[in-house]
């Protein structure tokens, strides 16, 4: 009568003892699954799983640590536990890009299945591989190149040019400005390089495309007599 239960117990014991502790005590990675690990106490292993979306970090057997994927080198540990997804979270924990592939400057920070929308600083986009916001040319994220991002057009027909405008530090300006073709006092500003907006310099000044500033008319070639002409 007790043989069948005994066989089941022995089988379970066999499964739990399949992992051999490398040391008597510590935390050790499963050789195949990146989010599975074992806590060894007196050479007896106890199987554990990281929270869904996190991976076990193997830097030190003295520390029990699960971290975000971009911070963990899984090596040959390619298997993962089945995903538990919600509407905007492919897994319960982690950083995930926006569901619209052309919304490049926003991502979701998922904590226990709850998504929080995070917006990158101006001019930056979210990079899945680094898990952070970075310059578009550094991210090399497909579909998020400047020329492929959604652009708007103003009623006068102006839309933001594809070419980047470099600032004094040789970095692309996040909100480049452009001269108005007919009005020295006006200019265009491109928010995040793609969203155009009409701007105007303070009274008595005109836009100088050489330094992206509003200055006295005498300092801007072609606009020296702009306000004199306006009065006439």
CATH number, domain of 223, equals 2.170.140
pLDDT 10s digits, 93-138: 999 999 988 888 899 999 999 999 999 987 788 998 889 998 887 8
Reading across the β-sheet that carries 44-49, which strands appear in turn? 26-29, 36-41, 44-49
> Structurally, how many domains does the chain consist of?
3
Q: Read off the pLDDT of each residue in 44-65 and give the average, rounded to a whole number.
A: 94
What global pTM score does this model have? 0.61
Q: Using pLDDT thresholds of 50, 70 and 90, give the confidence band for residue 169.
A: confident
Range of the domain at 157: 151-231
Q: Using pLDDT thresholds of 50, 70 and 90, give the confidence band for residue 175.
A: confident
Residue 98 sits in the same domain as residue 156: no
DSSP per-residue codes, 135-170: -HHHH--TT-SGGGS---B-TTS-B--SS--B-TTS
Higher pLDDT, 193 or 11: 193
For residues 29 and 21, the answer to whether their CB atoms sit within 8 Å is no
Q: What is the CATH number of the domain that holds 120?
A: 2.170.140.10
Residue 136 sits in the same domain as residue 161: no
Using CA atoms, how far apart are residues 27 and 62, in angstroms rounded to an integer? 6
Radius of gyration of the chain (CA): 29
**119 CA to centre of own chain:** 9
Residue 139 φ/ψ, nearest 5 degrees? -75, -35
Beta strands 132-134 and 125-127: pairing type? Answer: antiparallel
The Cβ of residue 219 has, within 10 Å, a number of other Cβ atoms equal to 14
Beta strands in 62-124 (DSSP E): 66-67, 94-97, 106-111, 114-119
Residue 59 sits in the same domain as residue 109: no
The Cβ of residue 208 has, within 10 Å, a number of other Cβ atoms equal to 20
Q: Percent of the chain scored above 70 by pLDDT?
A: 88
Residue 12 lies in a domain: no
Residue 212 lies in a domain: yes
Residue 131 lies in a domain: yes
């Amino acid at each position: 009568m007790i043989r069948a239960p005994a066989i089941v117990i022995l089988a379970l014991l066999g499964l739990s003892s399949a992992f051999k502790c490398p040391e008597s005590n510590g935390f050790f990675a499963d050789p195949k699954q990146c989010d599975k690990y074992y806590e060894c106490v007196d050479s007896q292993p106890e199987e554990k799983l990281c929270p869904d979306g996190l991976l076990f970090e193997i830097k030190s057997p003295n520390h029990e640590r699960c971290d975000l994927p971009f911070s963990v080198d899984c090596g040959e540990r390619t298997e993962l536990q089945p995903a538990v997804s919600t509407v905007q979270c492919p897994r319960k924990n982690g950083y995930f890009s926006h569901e619209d592939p052309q919304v490049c400057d926003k991502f979701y920070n998922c904590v226990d299945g709850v998504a929080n929308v995070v917006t990158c600083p101006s001019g930056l986009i979210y990079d899945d591989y680094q898990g952070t916001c970075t310059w578009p040319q550094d991210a090399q994220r497909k579909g998020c190149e400047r020329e492929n991002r959604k652009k708007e057009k103003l009623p006068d027909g102006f839309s933001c040019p594809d070419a980047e405008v470099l600032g004094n530090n040789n970095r692309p300006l996040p909100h480049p400005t452009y001269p108005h073709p007919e009005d020295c006092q006006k200019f265009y500003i491109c928010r995040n390089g793609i969203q155009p907006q009409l701007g105007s310099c303070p009274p008595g000044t005109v836009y100088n495309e050489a330094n992206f500033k509003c200055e006295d008319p005498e300092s801007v070639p072609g606009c020296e007599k702009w306000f004199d002409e306006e009065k006439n």
